[in-house]
Chains A and B, each alone.
Chain A
Amino acid sequence: MAAEIMPTASLLALLAPVILLLVGGLAALGSEPFLDRKAKHTWLPWVVALAAVAGLVSLAWTPVGQVHGLLALDTARTWLVGAVLASTAIGIAGLQQSLSRDEFEGGEPYALMAFAGVGAAIMVMAADLLALFVGLEIASLSIYALVGLRRDRLDSHEGLFKYFIMGAVFSAIFLYGLAMTYGATGSTAYGAPVIAGREKLLLLGHALVILGLLFKVGAVPFHAWSPDAYTGAPVAVTGFMGSVVKVGGFAALGAIWLNASATASGSHVGGVLPLDAAVTLTAQGAALLKPFSMIFLVLGLVSVVIGNFSALRQVSIRRLVAFSSVAHAGYMLFALALPVLADQGTSTVQLGSLWYYLVGYAVATAGALTAVAALSGKTDDGDQLHLLAGQGRTQPFYGLVLTIFVASFAGLPPTIGFLGKFLIFGDLVGKGYVVWAIVTMLLAIVGAAFYLKLLVSLWSAVGKEAASAGSSIMTRWTVAAAAIAVVVLMACPDILTRPGMALAGPEPVKAAQAP
């Protein structure tokens, strides 16, 4: 027997957050043609943002369970869906900031952002490769269009083109892997038992599926698109895509990985595993998965190296965030691979630190870029570091929240980023990878250097009174909420749990031994 198998839940109750956001998006899309340009940017963001917030609130009443083995909701998934919805609300605020400043002609981007949120939430909730793929495509297609919003800009076209073409190729690779997995197991569910004699086919299928997902999360060596796509997108979209795509992609990666470790240990009996399940890993399973864990670790390390050193030289905040997101993908790969690296004998696998890091990263990224959107001046070029100089003094509120978010990126103490990194480094040391821990720590300090550069520029006194477009109420509220969340989640990580299920706590629920 493995970890808890999730009970069946009512469909509508389970999907309530997603449905609320979807209805918000549809309402925005349907009412868009009847509003004039100013009204579009006044009302539509509110419709979508309120829908996202309603979804966020409804998460408090959603059941723990799964429907048809396709979609599931448990503590970790609840929080990740929450992160997606929060990122959507924050992103909508930033988008309103950007679009109303640019006097964009259409109101569709708001609806698209809602749909992207829906797709990412489905990715998180998916317990089946088919559901994952549909969610992935909904999120990807919306985000392609959002990246290309600034239609008069060449870099926007470039980013869109690169992202779209490469995304399509990797979607195909993912689908190819899905087909092979189906051929090997006769089912599209995560961790379905393999048919005897088709283990290698399953391996190939899983490899391709993971390849596709690694592209989506922008880990090395599939990170080439992210700087251009991040730069091409409007600032708010950069933050939004950075957070929701990562949440969706890593949730899927983690779910597949968790199921794979359960299957490899022979402790998977079908049904849907919760993401916060404590899977008992046998020595045999650990031996089977160790090479792949090492691959993840190496990819993670390379991601951290490339991300951090490339970010050092950037002057555009979007490009900086792009490379820093590559580095963060590296840290998250550590969090993904480490729990499976058992020394010997049976151990318990929990991906709590990954989920924790992910929630923190998502909220901080969306918040930071929305704050930058509010700070940057008349055009999107205002996200260049020297144009941002002194903005912290002219607009202390945004300066303050941006500081909090950047501190979270850098992993400085009063923020969630600190605890996330701390869990990973602690795990590295605990598993005996001391050298890795030291190297990664040093790299994190390299990363802190460019975050510091950003902060110095933000608060420096040299800046002129660069005219800011002013910020809306929604931006202020959402960004403030995100900043508070970043601090509060650090202070009491225990709220990331539900009764009976531990997320990152020291005492995992003991699962029965495998027969």
Chain B
Amino acid sequence: MLSTIIDWIAAHPYQVVGLVLPIVIPLALFQILPLLVLMERRGAAMIQDRAGPNRAYIPIPFLNVKVRGFGMIFNLTDAVKLLFKEHFTPPFVHKGYYRIAPAIPLITGLLTPALIPWFSPIVYQGGVLSGQTIDANSGILMLFAMASLSVYGVVLGSWASNSKYSLLGGMRASAMMISYEVSMGLSVIGMLMIVGSVSLTDVVEWQGQHTWGFVVQPVGFLLFLVSMFAECNRNPFDVAEGESELVAGFHTEFNGVKFMLYMSAEYLHMIVASVLIATVYFGGYQLLPIPGFGPEWVKAHVGQVLAIGLVGMALGLLGFVWVIKNRKAIHARSDSNPQDKAERAKEYGLYMAVFTLAGLGLLGAAGASWALINIERLGQGWIDFITAAVQFNIVIAKALLFCWLFVWVRWTIPRFRYDQIMDLGWKVLLNVALVNLLVTAVVAKLIG
């Protein structure tokens, strides 16, 4: 029985991957969440020139080292705390909606990855494995639909909380969502008009054959970026949360796991928004913004591409080792107490060892991939899947850049006032988007 199943899987690798991917990809995205939280905390510390998250640690018994993991341990403590906290339900809330609401943004956030083209379509004997789970022509519209549905989580939660602060936050969120959805849709239409298709795969393919979207649609890109900030309820548009005037806005009355759901949904939406920006305006899984290096080229040279990527990562790690070395030296010169100095020195030493090893390992892997990954040795199937994995990582790498932009903006620009947000949405973005659309249409018609 088992052997028949294994045989069947071996005989139908593409189908099985197609079946598994819709589950694997959202889960993979979910794994980026802790990284984003870390990025947020470290980024905040960096931009505000202060110490970052460094208090939580795990002591390692025999080595006598405290592992702080650059603040990574905070995620662990956060999760433990939120999971094991008392599930306190305030007595005045509307129980049903109060329980349902936090799940909604997370569900929509986990559905959206199904609409992103993660890799170029793989043609195999008897079918096509699309990089999009739902290879719909109206994929981008469905993405917007999901985004608009996710706000119901905020609105419903705020209403169910039965508290004035929450209600105000929810009302702001719903009004903002209606306002910015318009300019979001209009700004992206310019790009779709140039491509001549609403399918995201077509959009990415077009960018591979011509150039990336932000070159042909710079205004549309900026508008889309701003709208995306608003859609994600991120600073400077996070008036729904607005802790300076609304305690914590829509999630004032939420705690424990429910609060965690809201938070993780916010970060998940951030990732999805970044992926969408990368897909529509930054070439998606395309390697370079010049034609000639499309999916076919990548597939033909996948070993080399992978090797270059690995070398890049290795260099990054080794550079990081150098940074740690400097930090270690700085810390040794500082005037903290000797015991602390000794602990830190050990910790840094551990990191340096681990990262040096990892960097060297990556270099070795790069060499191996350059030498070993080619179609003669591995056959078409493995090359296909490795190419898909490389393309997936290209998308993720681009998206992480935009995630960093989200963090950067959050800690740089102060929150807008609510009426300023409305003015910006209706009086600036909408009109600019319309003009952009008009100009794009005329130019596209003239060029043909």
Asked if A and B form a direct contact in the complex, defined as CB atoms under 8 angstroms apart, the reply is: no
Which residues of chain B have a CB within 8 Å of any CB of chain A? Answer: none
